[in-house]
A and B are shown apart, each in its own frame.
Chain A
Amino acid sequence: MKRTIHTDQIKTAIEELIRSASFITPPEVKDIFADMRENETLPLASETLNILIENIDIAEKENIPLCQDCGSAILFLEIGQELEITGDYLYDAVNSAVADAYRNFYLRKSIVADPLRRVNTGTNTPAFIHTDIVPGNGLTIDLMLKGGGSENMSALRMFRPTESVEKIIDFIEDTVIAAGPNPCPPLFLGVGIGGTADTAMLNAKKALLKNPSEHHPDPYYRDLEIKILERVNKTGVGPMGFGGTNSAAVVHIKTAPAHIASLPVALNLNCHSLRKGRTVI
């Protein structure tokens, strides 16, 4: 059944998502931090986790952004095929919501208009917008605020399709070790397996949208998520790269069908400050 919504509604929703993600850490992520503090063995790593947990409390109570890198605004829109959107051009509405939120909430604007000439747009726009058309008449908006330090450590490798799963785990381990302190561990790791080079990386990022306590529904991939997490946590990188047993908090895998000749594996790293949110209109 056809349904109509106005872009003003979308703008309000996005501004609220940005506010919430910038200052408030959801309970399930707080639980993960409490668990990590519980099982951490190195003193400096425990001190580091204490500071990160206190940071979460201060940000929420005092309305100070969790991190001074307030991120790129990345939006995933699932638009129902039977949904009609009235008002502004959708992308203009999204960008205007992002600009308003970054100004009104005193967030840092970190986007340059041109990758080589590098002049800041002053509004944190444009946002990075991905859209999927889905059945129905709903609109699901996922927001992710991603800092530069962790995004810079992303990696993609095109494997031989006959390569063993062990080699994929090695690649992920190597990437986490090479990244070391730079992406601000403990990490949330998104792994995209299959598809084309571009879909693998997009899936790596989409994997990070899952609830942190949620495992892959397929037991084969659930086991792989657990195995990767164990391996990564044996690297010794630890919180902030100072050493320790908590290098990553969570691993999420998202897969896609692939060409007979291709096995792309993409890794998208998120820092300990997992700033995201979802709303359904």
Chain B
Amino acid sequence: MERKTINTPLTDDIIENLHCGDLCFITGKLLTARDKAHERIAQMLSAGEKLPFDLKNEIIYYVGPTPAKPGEIIGAAGPTTSSRMDHFSPIMFELGIKAMIGKGRRDNLTKELTKKYRAVYFSSFGGAGAYLSKRIKSSKIIAFDDLASEAVHELFVENFPVVVAIDMYGEDIYEHAVHRGE
């Protein structure tokens, strides 16, 4: 099947051409955040504090890797379940993110916001942690280092495979997939 190549940063041109079900390979920068990093971002905002990083036009990857072995860049690093981050979607879009990478369905609000902010939700390949780790070329913690594997990491990836799960037109791959057997 057709493979699309994406280089970051994500521009409106790129996002307009992405459609639900597309298999894409991303090269460039991702920022990691999962449950606790999102919680920390929300807490800092409500306390009126400034975030130690800029999320404008960034791609957020929901991942909590295994510890890197000595000499390795990162351990197994596949996506975690995205729905746990659904209730942070309004804050994250407001901060300017353009895409999220995780796995599984999103709630209706996240879907609406994906349309409103002309963004995209990618699913990567759950349980392909070893495969995906080989596509990560560098990793460094840029904030919240006390959160260990849940700290915010800046990753550079090469040909990192993702599928467009919700596009900016509001189409959702998981709604197309399922039908009753009989």
Contacts and interface: CB of A to CB of B under 8 A. Distances in A.
A234 interface: yes
A234 B127 contact: no
Given A58-B130, A64-B130, A182-B104, A242 B177 contact: yes
A103 to B, nearest CB: 9
Interface stretch (B40-48, B58-66, B113-121): B58-66
Interface stretch (B6-14, B78-86, B93-101): B78-86
Nearest to A233: B181
A182 B81 contact: yes
Interface residues of B, number: 43
B130 A59 contact: yes
A68 B75 contact: yes
Contact of A44 (B128, B134, B163): B163
Contacts of A177: 178, 180
B66 A108 contact: yes
Nearest to B132: A55
Interface string B124-161: 01111111111000000000000001000000000001
Given A67-B76, A173-B181, A241-B104, A44 B21 contact: yes
B68 interface: yes
A108 B130 contact: no
Contacts of A241: 104-105, 123, 173-174, 177
A237 B77 CA distance: 24
A70 B130 CA distance: 12
B104 A66 contact: no
Contact of B127 (A67, A106, A233, A244): A67
A265 B11 CA distance: 50
Given A58-B134, A68-B78, A181 B128 contact: no
B176 interface: yes
Contacts of B161: 51
A235 B163 contact: no
B1 A47 contact: yes
A68 to B, nearest CB: 4
A69 B78 CA distance: 8
Contact of B21 (A69, A149, A173, A242): A242
A177 B65 CA distance: 28
B179 interface: yes
Nearest to A271: B127
Nearest to A273: B127
Interface of A: 43-44, 47-48, 51-52, 54-55, 58-59, 62-70, 106-108, 147-149, 152, 173, 177, 180-182, 184, 230-238, 240-244, 271-273
5 contacts: A67-B76, A106-B75, A173-B181, A181-B126, A240-B103
Given A177-B180, A181-B123, 19 more contacts: A47-B1, A48-B125, A51-B161, A54-B131, A64-B76, A67-B76, A67-B128, A70-B66, A106-B67, A108-B67, A148-B81, A149-B80, A180-B177, A181-B103, A182-B81, A242-B21, A242-B163, A244-B177, A271-B126
